[in-house]
């Protein structure tokens, strides 16, 4: 049974999840050390593990090094997770156990330093098979904290280790990499003040033999949306740890009277069943414990950016909204250009008042008209940014991140506002609260189009604190807006997928995965995103062709099918679409709205990952329904099509494809596969619906045309 127990005679805590065990103990010096993380063990078996601690080999090699729950100090030469420096120059922490508290599935273990008035509380919270860990530091004197990771995770000694993670850049986010773990230290990080396009704060580790369906996988993910780092350390003794938290080299935290420090959550997950099981477990965790409204279905949205750019007006937006409603969209989003002197990206950011030249009557009439069409209304905002060419900057040049006597570097003609300043935070909440409340805004696309630069705060004694406080104020502002406007939903965007993480997902409903909407590239971007984050968080648009990022032309059906494996959105200039494309769009939006519960809330099975340019396939299963997506990227040598083996079905049941009327044995679909019937050629795709056959056939969904064909590009 899941829960937490304390073995007093061994000073050991045992945390039992749904199918795994985590254990730690206090050693003779009161240092909290790791005991076990992995398969289920009883209390007696955990005690047996604690008795297997090995002695030092010599004066240079400690086989138990790296087992500290927050490695630091003394003769512990492992990468430090906690570094403190006192006013007299002393460094390191000497642990003294104080007390413990267990509340349900939440464990707190409190320590003080043996000499200095510094307190550290370690937190552990079970969430199914995910263990959340974080730390709190407080002091009665001023203490400089050079590093404060949330946790050190020690993995069992293995013959080998392999690391899974994602890398990328703007328009090429979340590219999955799997590589052997090198000896020494490997650091994944962002120094940009945001999560970044270039890495994402999670890693998975296996012994090199795990597949999509088989093998043990360990995962660690950090719930933080500012600068961060994860460090893997592998020694010649065979030990491997993963340690991570907020912050970066050269930036210190200051703890003192009235200034505690709480680290973000570091979440750890152990699973068997390979990478597929690991992803499904992470998705279940995100839906159950992270997302604010996990039970909701994300609406089909239309965003006007690609149709109009900055050239927006009330009449023009209303025409687009009418066309979007006719296609089956449920949410209309007005993008950039509606405020201030915003006729391009060089001016206006910070002046969040409606541009009366473009909207003479304000936004309210447009919002009302959109609502009358049966659509929700959304708006693009970028609260953390300012153009130097703006009334706000001219009035408050001191509000931006900057250093005295140093130039202020502009990216995209903009600077970053210092949200750690109370006056900036109050200003931001004031205009956002009025905007949402006075206009009845249902949805905000919250963008952030540049990383930090010259991150200083002249006149502030502790300037480094802005690196943490900026992110925390963004969190608090979103939380406050949602509390004041319960119907408001938010999408996180940062030049695409630059701020996607568990911390941001705790106060937003979905994320803009990438500015790259090219369907072929999206197969790989969405593959990486789905390793940790569920499809219900993944905004995916159908835009025009040739694509504005890649210049590639892809058939409309293929573009739709790729976007339909996430949260479907429309982003093209639909006023210029020919009638045949509009008719196809209406059919595919209707199909998506039928399969949406399965896609957004179902379990994901990656059947054929995008490892080459052949067929890619994935499947979602929810209850007695399954949806299969298959995409042929490029055809070579007229190779015959192979049946697609499915997963996650009940072998004892039969499944109906309501579009073809064909029934299939679950056992056959699992063992032999589903014939896809993809036509020859490039950019062919299909969506197959399957439902368990029930005695009440009237309960089945009415057939919709099966969408499988090869379109002409364009």
As annotated, the active-site residues are 447, 515
Q: At what angle do helices 579-601 and 556-563 cross, to 10 degrees?
A: 20
**For residue 473, what is the enclosing H or E element?**
helix 466-484
The CB density around residue 360, as the number of other CB atoms within 10 Å, is 11
Q: Say if CB 84 and CB 254 are below 8 A apart.
A: no
Residue among 621, 253, 220 at smallest CA distance from 467: 253
Nearest alpha-carbon partner for 706 in 668, 665, 656, 671: 656
Q: How far apart are CA 100 and CA 96, in angstroms?
A: 12
The tally of CA atoms less than 13 A away on the side-chain side of residue 494 is 22
Report DSSP letters for 515-584, one per residue: S---HHHHHHHHHHHTTTS-GGGEEEEE--SS-TTT-----HHHHHHHHTTSEEEE-S-TTSS-HHHHHH
The DSSP string of 111-166 is: EEESSSSEEEEEEEEEETTEEEEEEEEEESS-EEEEEE-SEEEEEPP-S--EEEEE
Region label for 436, one of left (φ > 0), alpha (ψ between -120 and 50) or beta (otherwise): alpha
34: tokens are 């790791």
Strands 567-570 and 301-303, sheet pairing: parallel
Containing 510, the helix (H) or strand (E) segment is strand 510-512
- Looking only at the bridges linking them, the beta strands covering 184-190 and 331-334 are unpaired
**How crowded is residue 254: how many other Cβ atoms within 10 Å of its Cβ?**
15
Q: How many CA atoms lie within 13 A of 229 on its CB side?
A: 18
| Contacts for 221 with CB less than 8 Å, ≥ 6 apart | 201, 202, 266, 267, 269, 282, 501, 502, 532
Residues in CB range of 60: below 8 A, 6 or more apart: none
- In 72-117, at which residue ranges do the beta strands (DSSP E only) sit? 82-86, 95-103, 106-113
Q: What is the DSSP letter of 624?
A: T
What does the buried/exposed string (b/e) look like for 179-194 if buried means 16 or more CB atoms within 10 Å of the residue's CB?
eebeeeebebbbbbbb
541/291 Cα distance (integer angstroms): 21
Measured at the CA of 136, the angle between CA 457 and CA 164, to 5 degrees, comes to 85
């Amino acid at each position: 049974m899941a829960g937490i127990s304390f073995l007093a005679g061994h000073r050991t805590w045992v945390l039992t999840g749904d199918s795994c065990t985590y254990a730690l103990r206090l050693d003779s010096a009161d240092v909290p050390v790791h005991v076990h993380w992995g398969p289920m063990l009883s209390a007696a078996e955990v005690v047996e593990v604690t008795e297997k601690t090995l002695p030092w080999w010599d004066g240079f090699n400690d086989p138990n090094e790296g087992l500290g729950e927050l490695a630091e100090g003394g003769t512990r030469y492992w990468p430090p997770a906690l570094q403190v420096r006192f006013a007299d120059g002393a460094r390191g922490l000497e642990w003294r156990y104080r007390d413990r508290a267990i509340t349900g599935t939440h464990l707190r273990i409190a320590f003080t330093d043996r000499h200095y008035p510094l307190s550290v509380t370690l937190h552990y919270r079970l969430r199914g098979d995910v263990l959340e860990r974080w730390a709190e530091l407080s002091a009665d004197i001023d203490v400089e904290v050079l590093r404060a990771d949330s946790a050190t995770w020690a993995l069992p000694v293995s013959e080998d280790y392999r690391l899974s993670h994602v890398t990328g850049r703007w328009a090429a986010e979340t590219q999955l990499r799997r590589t052997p773990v090198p000896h020494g230290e490997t650091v994944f990080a962002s120094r940009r003040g945001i999560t970044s396009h270039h890495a994402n704060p999670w890693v998975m580790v296996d012994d090199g033999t795990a597949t999509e369906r088989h093998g043990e996988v360990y995962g660690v993910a950090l719930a933080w949306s500012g600068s961060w780092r994860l460090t893997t350390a592998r020694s010649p003794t065979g030990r491997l740890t993963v340690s991570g938290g907020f912050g970066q080299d050269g930036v210190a935290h200051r703890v003192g009277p009235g200034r505690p420090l709480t680290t973000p959550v570091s979440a750890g997950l152990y699973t068997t069943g390979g990478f597929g099981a690991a992803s499904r477990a992470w998705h279940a965790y995100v839906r159950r414990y992270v997302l604010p409204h996990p039970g909701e279905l994300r609406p089909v949205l239309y965003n006007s950016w690609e149709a109009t750019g900055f050239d927006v007006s009330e009449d023009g937006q209303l025409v687009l909204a009418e066309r979007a409603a006719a296609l089956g969209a449920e949410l209309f989003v007005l993008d950039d250009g509606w405020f201030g002197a915003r006729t391009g990206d060089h001016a206006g950011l910070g002046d969040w008042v409606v541009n009366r030249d473009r909207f003479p009557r304000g936004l309210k009439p447009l919002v009302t008209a959109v609502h009358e069409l049966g659509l929700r209304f959304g708006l693009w905002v970028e609260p953390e940014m300012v153009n130097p060419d703006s009334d706000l900057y001219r009035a408050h040049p001191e509000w931006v991140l900057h250093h005295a006597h140093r130039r202020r570097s502009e990216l995209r003609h903009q600077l970053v506002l210092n949200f750690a300043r109370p006056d900036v935070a109050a200003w931001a909440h004031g205009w956002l609260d009025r905007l949402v409340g006075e206009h009845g805004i249902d949805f905000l696309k919250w963008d952030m189009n540049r990383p930090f630069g010259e991150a200083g705060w002249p006149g502030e004694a502790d300037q480094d604190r802005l690196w943490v406080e900026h992110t925390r104020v963004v969190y608090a502002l979103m939380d406050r807006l949602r509390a004041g406007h319960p119907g408001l939903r938010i999408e996180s965007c940062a030049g695409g997928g630059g701020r996607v993480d568990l911390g941001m997902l705790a106060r937003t409903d979905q994320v803009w995965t990438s500015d790259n909407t090219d369907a072929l590239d999206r197969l790989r971007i969405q593959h990486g995103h789905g390793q940790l984050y569920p499809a219900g968080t993944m905004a995916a648009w159908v835009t025009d062709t040739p694509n504005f990022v890649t210049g590639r032309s892809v058939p409309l059906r293929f573009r739709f099918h790729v976007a339909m494996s996430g949260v479907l959105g429309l982003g093209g200039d639909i006023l210029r679409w020919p009638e045949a494309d509009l008719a196809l769009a209406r059919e595919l939006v209707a199909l998506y709205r039928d399969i949406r519960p399965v896609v957004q809330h179902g379990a994901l099975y990656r059947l054929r990952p995008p490892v080459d340019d052949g067929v890619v396939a994935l499947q979602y299963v929810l209850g007695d329904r399954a949806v299969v997506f298959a995409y042929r990227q490029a055809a070579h040598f007229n190779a015959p099509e192979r049946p697609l083996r499915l997963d996650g079905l009940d072998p004892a049941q039969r499944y109906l494809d309501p579009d073809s009327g064909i029934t299939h044995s679950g056992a056959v679909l699992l063992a032999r596969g589903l014939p896809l019937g993809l036509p020859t050629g490039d950019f062919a795709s299909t969506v197959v619906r399957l439902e368990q056959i029930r005695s009440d056939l009237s309960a089945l969904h009415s057939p919709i045309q099966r969408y499988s064909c090869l379109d002409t590009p364009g």
